[in-house]
């Protein structure tokens, strides 16, 4: 611990020297409420997650434009030393760049040179990865009055001194060691730090919290779903919500976590956030009803968290259609009248334009293929296709559970009037685990990943597709699109240079002309880009920054195999005339060796092990035991790993590497069946690889 502290002091000293030197000439004052409200006029800095409170992710900088973007080159890079997903938006204040990587680690850099000023590691217990559905990611920090705020994977909110990188306060926002997580960037509103949480695939009850930025004291907390009805309701909103639930939903928590989108509107003094899926996923398991306020957009008062309005995008959600996708504020002239609107490209395939004062839907149109609903009625309620909810066997539903659009940030250009977003066209196979029961130690979705019924053959024939879409939110129609070679991709940035920047799963960072989608520039990072680009200026020079690092459920679950380029993540910063380079990265896939470990198992044992693996292990180690590359591919397990297999799975022998104990989830006999299936898959792969030589 002494060495770690001395290291922090050295980095802190470097940070102080930088801030006392080149940083002094360009300091623009403290990041306070006034600065955040005026962020749009501060083109040099990027002070909050979406750049401004509106979260439009549009920059007025135009030194880099459609005429010269071809001269863009790498200025500097930094190796983040992880194979896990990188999803953060860097923030920049007066020449200092702040960002995060996997495991909630925070960095501060000289934004001009790339020199590391300090690094803060909150030391998240690696075994907490068990309670994170979609990788150990973090989407960034918040800045306020000389501090950097980060939410950690194990549910803490930490205030760090912006100059030294040393922690100021640290509060546990979720039940300690509970199955919650935080992956989102905090937001700031009126001196308070707003944070939600993730975990609706587990037995949790969602809520949003506001903490005093100075002291870390809890100011208010707003729940998103009702708790045990035998106990007093926390608010009138929770009492109203309870009437829309049935059965004993609270035993599985209910879900509805606000795990990503959150926007503060200083004009109306309202905070808007989106909520996630119900737990379990399927109403057949949790009880029928609309299940407020899951899959909803909710407006609350910034002072006390009191609900003002809600709009449920997917009532009684049965398809994992969270409403946690980016929320964006704007003022449009619609039918001759000025309207304050909130926009969202929802996971369910509909693009919503909502009156943000009242919560009433102004318009909603599909921006991707949809089969779960045929439209939105005059009351804003989806016209649902009953066949999609029928799970007597299985249902093929589009969009997929990954969504037509997910968490990846979108951007809006006031110059073009267009929203720019990545779109995924895919389908999910929904089936319920036979004889499902709540497991309070693990996931509670009820989704059967081991399903092998008649719908699977059709499912395996479906091809996914992806595109970058420019969408007119007033006319609710496509302006242009670009088909992508890999269906999955990252967030977008729009600039006054008539540019849209966008990263892809294959590692390409591209710049398009915002008006028509013409490709103008491309850089090959070698590793997939899920994070959104951003831009800033130091000493009159414009830079574009983005992090590479492909992860998330698309890598962990690995369906289909090989999607996205997985490798060591990097922070990449570009400028006109930049000449820095990075070493090319190519993932080497070795032939699977024939396992020498012997175990007697029947075909029936292996099949039972397949089912157990699919519903317990595949979400991290890949479907059919084929890893996406960010965690261990179990087909390559060594003899010693096989010999201590039960000690690892039940005893937690490798918890410090992120492999938790599954005691209470599977028995010793079941571990043996899982092991038999892994060995069988390793032998199959070894034989196939040998034959392919």
Burial class (CB in 10 A: 0-12, 13-18, 19+), 263: buried
- State in words which class domain 1-140+489-587 has: mainly beta
Indicate the pLDDT class of residue 555, thresholds 50, 70 and 90.
confident
The string of pLDDT tens digits covering residues 371-394 is 999 999 999 999 999 999 999 999
Q: Can you tell me the mean pLDDT for 631-660?
A: 94
Whether residue 425 is predicted with pLDDT greater than 90 in this model: the reply is yes
Whether residue 10 is predicted with pLDDT greater than 80 in this model: the reply is no
> Where in the sequence of the chain do the CATH 1.10.760.10 domains occur?
603-691
Number of C-beta neighbours around residue 217 at 10 A: 11
Indicate the pLDDT class of residue 7, thresholds 50, 70 and 90.
very low
> Where in the sequence of the chain do the CATH 2.140.10.10 domains occur?
1-140+489-587
Distance CA 647, CA 654 (A): 9
Indicate the pLDDT class of residue 25, thresholds 50, 70 and 90.
very low
Superfamily of domain 603-691: Cytochrome c-like domain (1.10.760.10)
Burial class (CB in 10 A: 0-12, 13-18, 19+), 527: buried
pLDDT of res. 553:
79
- pTM confidence score: 0.95
What does pLDDT average to over the chain?
Answer: 94
Indicate the pLDDT class of residue 558, thresholds 50, 70 and 90.
low
Q: Can you tell me the mean pLDDT for 418-436?
A: 97
pLDDT of res. 563:
61
Q: Can you tell me the mean pLDDT for 241-270?
A: 96
Q: Can you tell me the mean pLDDT for 205-218?
A: 98
Whether residue 458 is predicted with pLDDT greater than 90 in this model: the reply is yes
Indicate the pLDDT class of residue 28, thresholds 50, 70 and 90.
low
453: which residues sit within 8 A by CB, 6+ positions away?
Answer: 393, 394, 431
Whether residue 585 is predicted with pLDDT greater than 90 in this model: the reply is no
Tokens of 603: 């075909």
Q: Can you tell me the mean pLDDT for 193-210?
A: 97
**Alpha-carbon distance values, 84 to 104, 376, 505, 679 (Å):** 12, 38, 14, 26
The string of pLDDT tens digits covering residues 326-364 is 999 999 999 999 999 999 999 999 999 999 999 999 999
Highest mean pLDDT among 16-25, 489-498, 584-593: 489-498
The string of pLDDT tens digits covering residues 394-403 is 999 999 999 9
Mean pLDDT is lowest, of 168-177, 446-455, 484-493, 554-563, for 554-563
pLDDT of res. 11:
52
**Which among 65, 320, 486, 665 is annotated as catalytic?**
320
Mean pLDDT is lowest, of 4-13, 152-161, 267-276, for 4-13
pLDDT of res. 588:
83
pLDDT of res. 14:
47
Tokens of 192: 């308070």
How many alpha carbons fall within 13 Å on the CB side of residue 314? 34
How many alpha carbons fall within 13 Å on the CB side of residue 207? 23
Q: Can you tell me the mean pLDDT for 115-119?
A: 98
322: which residues sit within 8 A by CB, 6+ positions away?
Answer: 200, 259, 274, 275, 276, 277, 295, 347, 403
442 noted as active-site residue: no
Indicate the pLDDT class of residue 27, thresholds 50, 70 and 90.
low
Q: Can you tell me the mean pLDDT for 197-201?
A: 96
**SS3 call for 165:** coil
Whether residue 26 is predicted with pLDDT greater than 70 in this model: the reply is no
DSSP annotation string for 342-390: EEEE-TTSEEEEEETTT--EEEEEESS---SEEEE-TTS-EEE-HHHH-
Whether residue 559 is predicted with pLDDT greater than 90 in this model: the reply is no
pLDDT of res. 5:
40
Indicate the pLDDT class of residue 469, thresholds 50, 70 and 90.
very high
Indicate the pLDDT class of residue 560, thresholds 50, 70 and 90.
very low
């Amino acid at each position: 611990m002494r060495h770690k502290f001395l290291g922090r002091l050295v980095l802190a000293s470097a940070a102080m020297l930088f801030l006392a030197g080149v940083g002094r000439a360009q300091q623009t004052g403290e990041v306070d409420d006034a600065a955040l409200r005026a962020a749009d006029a501060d083109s040099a800095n990027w002070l909050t997650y979406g750049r401004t409170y509106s979260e439009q992710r549009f920059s007025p900088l135009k030194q880099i434009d459609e005429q010269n973007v071809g001269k863009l080159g790498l200025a500097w890079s930094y190796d983040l030393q992880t194979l896990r997903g990188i999803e953060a938006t860097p923030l920049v204040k007066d020449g200092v760049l702040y960002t995060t990587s996997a495991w909630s680690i925070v960095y501060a850099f000289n934004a001009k040179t790339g020199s590391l000023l300090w690094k803060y590691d909150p030391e998240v217990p690696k075994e907490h990865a068990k309670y994170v559905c979609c990788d150990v990611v973090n989407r960034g920090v918040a800045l306020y009055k000389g501090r950097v705020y980060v939410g950690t994977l194990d549910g803490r909110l930490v205030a760090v001194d912006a100059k030294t990188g040393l922690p100021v306060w640290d509060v546990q926002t979720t039940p300690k060691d509970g199955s919650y997580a935080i992956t989102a960037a905090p937001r700031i509103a009126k001196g308070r730090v707003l944070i939600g949480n993730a975990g609706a695939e587990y037995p949790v009850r969602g809520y949003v919290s506001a903490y005093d930025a100075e002291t870390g004291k809890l100011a208010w907390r707003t729940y998103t779903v009702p708790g045990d009805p035998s106990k007093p309701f926390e608010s009138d909103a929770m009492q109203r919500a309870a009437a829309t639930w049935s059965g004993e939903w609270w035993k599985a928590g209910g879900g509805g976590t606000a795990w990503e989108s959150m926007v503060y509107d200083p004009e109306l003094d309202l905070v808007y956030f989106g909520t996630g899926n119900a737990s379990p996923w399927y109403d057949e398991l949790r009880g029928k009803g609309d299940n407020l306020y899951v899959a909803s957009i909710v407006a609350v008062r910034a002072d006390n968290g009191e609900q003002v309005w809600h709009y449920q995008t997917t009532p009684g959600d049965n398809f994992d259609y969270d409403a946690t996708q980016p929320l964006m504020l704007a003022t449009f002239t619609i039918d001759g009248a000025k309207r304050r609107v909130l926009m969202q490209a929802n996971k369910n395939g509909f693009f919503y334009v909502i009156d943000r004062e009242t919560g009433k839907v102004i318009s909603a149109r599909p921006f991707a293929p949809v089969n779960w609903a045929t439209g939105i009625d005059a009351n804003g309620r989806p016209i649902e296709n009953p066949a999609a909810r029928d799970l007597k066997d299985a249902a093929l539903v589009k969009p997929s559970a990954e969504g037509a659009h997910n968490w990846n940030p979108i951007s809006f250009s006031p110059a073009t009037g267009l929203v720019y977003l990545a779109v995924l066209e895919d389908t999910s196979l929904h089936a319920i685990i036979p004889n499902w029961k709540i497991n309070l130690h693990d996931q509670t979705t009820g989704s059967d990943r081991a399903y092998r019924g008649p719908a699977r053959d059709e499912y395996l024939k479906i091809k996914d597709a992806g595109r970058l879409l420019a969408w007119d939110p007033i006319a609710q129609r496509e302006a242009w699109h670009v088909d992508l070679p890999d269906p999955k991709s990252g967030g977008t940035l729009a600039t006054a240079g008539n540019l849209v920047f966008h990263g892809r799963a294959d590692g390409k960072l591209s710049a398009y002309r915002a008006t028509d989608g013409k490709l103008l520039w491309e850089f090959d990072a070698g590793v997939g880009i899920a994070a959104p680009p951003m831009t800033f200026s130091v000493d009159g020079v414009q830079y574009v920054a983005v992090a590479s690092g492909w992860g998330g459920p698309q890598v962990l679950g690995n369906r289909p195999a090989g999607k996205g380029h997985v490798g060591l993540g990097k922070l990449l910063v570009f400028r006109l005339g930049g000449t820095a380079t990075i070493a090319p990265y190519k993932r080497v896939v070795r032939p699977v060796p024939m396992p020498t470990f012997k175990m007697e198992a029947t075909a029936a044992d292996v099949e039972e092990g397949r089912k157990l693996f699919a519903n317990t292990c595949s979400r991290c180690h890949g479907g059919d035991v084929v890893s996406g590359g960010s965690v261990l591919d179990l087909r390559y397990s060594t003899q010693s790993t096989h010999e201590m297999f039960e000690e690892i799975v039940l005893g937690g022998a490798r918890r410090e590497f992120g492999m938790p104990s599954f005691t209470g989830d599977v028995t010793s006999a079941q571990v043996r069946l899982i092991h038999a299936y892994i060995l069988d898959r390793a032998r199959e792969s070894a034989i196939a690889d040998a034959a392919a030589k």
